[in-house]
Amino acid sequence: MTIPTKITNHVELVIGNLLWQFRNSPKLVELVSIFATEIQDLENLYNNLFEKRYLDNAAGVQLDLYGKIVGWSRQGFDDDDFRRLIKVAIVINQTDAQIDEITYIIAELIDAGSTPIRYVQRGRAHYSLDWIVDPPTDPDWLRTIEVVMEKITGSGISWDTVEGTDETNPVFRFDTVGSGYDLGGYAQNTESIT
């Protein structure tokens, strides 16, 4: 939704649209200017209400109302974090929990910027998300991410998340495509077991 363009010159527009024979009548111009001033005041009031109710500009009680609409409560978050959570909740309410939607939602929550979220399918009903951010995500916000993960993950599917803090302390990852036991010494040991 976009905010309509605000018209700031109603008086000039109305006087400019008068027929030429009435533009030189001071009483008519004065009367039309009074009505146009009232219209300008209404326009200013409407735009002020509209802008403050727009999600990007909403604060306080307006955000609480948005939260109620999308099914989330404030839970002590400040306006910026709650606004971000509301935007994500809108996506969650419309999602089919596809991989790209899940990674988009988590990227928005951790404010990853250009940091990629890595989705790894682990078995038939388990997946993992990992990412690297610096500084680390706040523990309270990580708990919120867990709640979001529960909402976007289908029934009977398990998940886990792993956060690394920088390239020198990376997320633990196997360097192979499989489960990590398909090459090297582990592969030999598992072959002898089966």
Token pair of 96 as six digits? 């089919």
| pLDDT, tens only, 43-83 | 888 888 777 778 888 888 888 988 899 888 888 888 888 88
Round to the nearest angstrom and report the end-to-end CA distance of the chain. 59
For residue 26, cis peptide bond before it (omega within 30 degrees of 0): no
CA distance 188 to 67: 54
Looking at the fold, whether 95 and 17 belong to one and the same domain comes out as no
Same domain? 97 vs 26: no
Which carries the bigger pLDDT value, residue 164 or residue 49?
A: 49
Residue 181: inside a domain, yes or no?
no
Domain that holds residue 15: 10-53
Residue 75 falls within a domain, yes or no? Answer: yes
Answer yes or no: is pLDDT of 167 > 80.
no
pLDDT, mean of residues 183-187: 47
**For 2-35, what is each residue's pLDDT tens digit?**
667 888 888 888 888 888 888 888 888 888 899 9
Task: Supply the pTM of this predicted model.
Answer: 0.58
- Domain identity same for 91 and 141: yes
Are 84 and 170 contained in the same domain? yes
Domain shared by 18 and 104, yes or no: no
pLDDT band at 112 (very low <50, low <70, confident <90, very high): low
Domain count along the chain: 2
Residues 37 and 70 in one domain: no
